[in-house]
């Protein structure tokens, strides 16, 4: 009898592993009643996620540096019948992110999904961008994501009901766009960390996705509205190259629904623009040429 029980347990476990990737299937097919924390949830892509999650019956905690749009969103979600709340957080402040995780747990009991999404766009060449802006984009886009998963992953693993981490990178984390070195660097770092987390947690009841959007119609071109005093203070200018892309860009609510689908499917890479695949193919072609050269270079002979 004991042998049969062990056999059944093994078969069940094997069924839960994705044969192609050796990954465990997470318990996130059903999201109703589960809780999500979304940084940068007051606007754009984060707001799209909040709407999609709430619509699917999830409890939602918005964490953002901008108080007014955050509260407006909570009112909107509550009016639609959702259980939603918000906490003001500056993701560059590790203690504040930890406090936001405490607040989420105190309010909703358990957290299942964390979306490390807050981000800012700094335009300009790496050698020209001043150090205040360099530090700002690294502190928000990279450290903000790190603090987010440091705060939430242990809590998700502790309750064992399953969960998911969504880190917002960008297509700029897959291919390097000219004139945006500092932004590209942070987004490549987010892809690197996300891929590492995918490997490290593939046997856990925790999915990890990296969101790599193309252009999305948000307020990203007005990122300076949230620049903190220590990085130079608010900047009301609009990033012209980014703003030019926005009229043709995808609606952030669509991206929010796509993220929900990815959580349910435990899909690691989330691309909003399948047509951009060619840029990645071109990058790998050029990298391949580097290996071709290495095979014939004098020093290695």
Say if CB 195 and CB 210 are below 8 A apart: yes
Rounded to an integer, what distance in angstroms lies between the CA atom of residue 9 and that of residue 266? Answer: 23
3-class secondary structure for 103-135?
HHHHHHCCCCEEEECCCCCCCCCCCCCCHHHHH
Asked if 194 contacts 169 with a C-beta cutoff of 8 angstroms, the reply is yes
Helix axes 44-55, 252-265, angle to 10 degrees: 60
Give the nearest distance from C-beta 217 to ligand NAD in angstroms: 7
User: In what helix (H) or strand (E) does residue 166 lie, and over which residues does it extend?
Assistant: strand 163-168
Q: In angstroms, what is the minimal distance from the CB of 277 to ligand NAD?
A: 16
Helix count and strand count (H, E) for the chain: 10, 9
Choose between 17 and 93: whose C-beta lies nearer to ligand NAD.
93
Cβ distance to ligand NAD smaller for residue 10 or 67: 67
Q: Nearest distance from residue 41's CB to ligand NAD, in Å?
A: 7
Instruction: Pick between residue 82 and residue 221 the one whose CB is nearest to ligand NAD.
Output: 221
Shortest Å, Cβ 140 to ligand NAD:
5
Nearer to ligand NAD, 58 or 171 (CB): 171
CA distances from 6 to 11, 13, 82, 156 (A): 9, 10, 42, 28
What is the nearest approach in angstroms of ligand NAD to the Cβ of residue 228?
A: 7
Nearer to ligand NAD by Cβ, of 105 and 217: the residue is 217
Question: Which residues in this chain contact ligand NAD in the complex, by CB under 6 A?
Answer: 39-40, 42-46, 64-66, 89-92, 117-120, 140, 168, 170, 213, 215-216, 218-220, 223, 226, 249, 252
Active site residue 231: no
DSSP letter string, 239-287: -HHHHHHGGGSBPHHHHHHHHHHHHHHT-SEEES-GGGHHHHHHHHHHH
* φ, ψ at 83 (rounded to 5°): -95, 105
Q: Which of 147, 183, 231, 269 is catalytic?
A: 183
**Residue 146 tokens, joined:** 């790190």
Q: Closest distance between ligand NAD and the C-beta of residue 154, in Å?
A: 21
DSSP letter, residue 216: B
Contact by Cβ (8 Å): 257, 50: no
Q: Which of 73, 68, 119, 65 is nearest to 239 (CA)?
A: 119
**Identity of the residue, 105 or 184, whose beta carbon is nearer to ligand NAD in the bound complex:** 184
Q: Which residues belong to the active site?
A: 183
């Amino acid at each position: 009898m004991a042998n049969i029980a062990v056999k059944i347990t093994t078969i069940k476990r094997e069924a839960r592993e994705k044969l192609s990737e050796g990954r465990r299937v997470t318990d996130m097919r059903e999201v109703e009643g589960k809780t999500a924390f979304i940084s940068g949830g007051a606007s754009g892509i984060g707001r799209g996620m909040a709407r999609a999650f709430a619509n699917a019956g999830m409890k939602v905690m918005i964490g953002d540096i901008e108080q007014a749009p955050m509260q407006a969103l909570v009112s909107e979600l509550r009016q639609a019948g959702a259980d939603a709340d918000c906490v003001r957080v500056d993701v560059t402040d590790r203690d504040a992110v930890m406090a936001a995780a405490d607040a989420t747990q105190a309010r909703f009991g358990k957290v299942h999904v964390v979306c490390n999404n807050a981000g800012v766009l700094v335009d300009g060449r790496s050698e020209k961008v001043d150090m205040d802006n360099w530090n700002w984009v690294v502190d928000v886009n990279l450290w903000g994501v790190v603090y987010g998963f440091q705060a939430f992953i242990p809590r998700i693993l502790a309750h064992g009901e399953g969960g998911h981490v969504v880190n917002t990178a960008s297509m700029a984390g897959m291919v390097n766009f000219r004139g945006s070195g500092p932004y590209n660097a942070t987004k490549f770092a987010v892809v690197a960390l996300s891929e590492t987390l995918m490997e490290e947690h593939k046997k856990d009841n925790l999915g990890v996705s990296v969101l790599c959007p193309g252009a999305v119609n948000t307020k990203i071109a007005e990122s300076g509205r949230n620049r903190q005093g220590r990085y130079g203070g608010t900047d009301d200018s609009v990033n012209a190259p980014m703003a030019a892309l926005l009229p043709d860009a995808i609606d952030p609510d669509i991206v929010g629904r796509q993220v929900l689908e990815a959580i349910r499917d435990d899909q690691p890479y989330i691309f909003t623009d399948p047509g951009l695949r060619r840029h990645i193919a071109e990058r790998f072609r050029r990298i391949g040429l580097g290996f071709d050269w290495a095979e014939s270079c004098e020093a290695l002979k």
